Structure 1
């Protein structure tokens, strides 16, 4: 079943032993963990092979949300569990800027960007009129 197009962007910013990466979310299910076969791979010995599952669920006819669940799709929970916004939880419906801790120095922050919102660090340059001047262009002009 196709999901209707919306002005929502779901993004997961992941920080692990390899640094920081931005993952746009658009699929119905993601496996998260240390295993090489996981959709979202976390590099850390503190993370279970199949640590969590991210599931897309309909909010209404035109939008959806993601729920994170501890463990794999078969119900086997992770060793360290999930800490979401400072609380240990078996599952959570993600909201903008929720922080998920998978283990020491392994975390993710979920962003739900709506409408004309631009992700952090990105700017729509079309609103600026920028003229680049080569420093050598003014050599023949008087000051």
Structure 2
């Protein structure tokens, strides 16, 4: 029997327009208030190109298909944002994201990163098993039973 792990990467943004969820699958994302950003942050306190998310391949041998995201302050050309990034309460220019990391971009603008892992066991046979419980529609506990 083989065990596979499927990972899902999720970024939940809270800004002036409420809460939005982004499923991360691309290799790079731009975050900021500019209209051209992949993930737009709605706040006057956020830079036009505030941060960049970059997908990184894991280095371990058993991490086939496994990756993580690195967040970098500023745009992809190296220009930093005005306010920087506060990650888990510390100001940081770069951080490899881990499950439930909190990123603060400015007042009332934040994100939480989730790494969701779904472990599945794949079968060696093609046989499909179902667990089915059959209920007779005439069997209702609320009905009066006549003797």
**Please, what TM-score do these two structures have when normalized by structure 2?**
0.75
Aligned to 1:122: none
**Please, what TM-score do these two structures have when normalized by structure 1?**
0.77
Aligned to 2:106: 103
Aligned to 1:46: 45
Computing the radius of gyration over CA atoms, which structure comes out larger, 1 or 2? 2
Aligned to 1:17: 16
Q: Report the Cα distance in structure 2 between the residues aligned to 1:142 and 1:113, rounded to whole angstroms.
A: 49
Q: Report the Cα distance in structure 2 between the residues aligned to 1:47 and 1:107, rounded to whole angstroms.
A: 10
Question: Unaligned regions of 5+ residues in structure 2, if any?
Answer: 120-130, 136-142
Q: Report the Cα distance in structure 1 between the residues aligned to 2:75 and 2:96, rounded to whole angstroms.
A: 17
Q: Determine if contact 1:6/1:62 at 8 Å carries over to the other structure.
A: no
**What CA deviation, in whole Å up to 9, does each residue of 1:67-99 have, x standing for no partner?**
000000000000000000000000000000000
> Highest relative contact order (Cα 8 Å, sep 6+), 1 or 2?
2
The structure richer in helix per residue is: 1
Q: Report the Cα distance in structure 1 between the residues aligned to 2:91 and 2:30, rounded to whole angstroms.
A: 19
Say how many residue pairs are matched: 120
Q: Determine if contact 1:31/1:39 at 8 Å carries over to the other structure.
A: yes
Aligned to 1:138: none
The 4+ residue runs of structure 1 with deviation greater than 2 A are none
State the shift of 1:115 in Å.
Answer: 1.5
Secondary structure in structure 1 of the residue aligned to 2:46:
coil
State the shift of 1:62 in Å.
Answer: 2.3
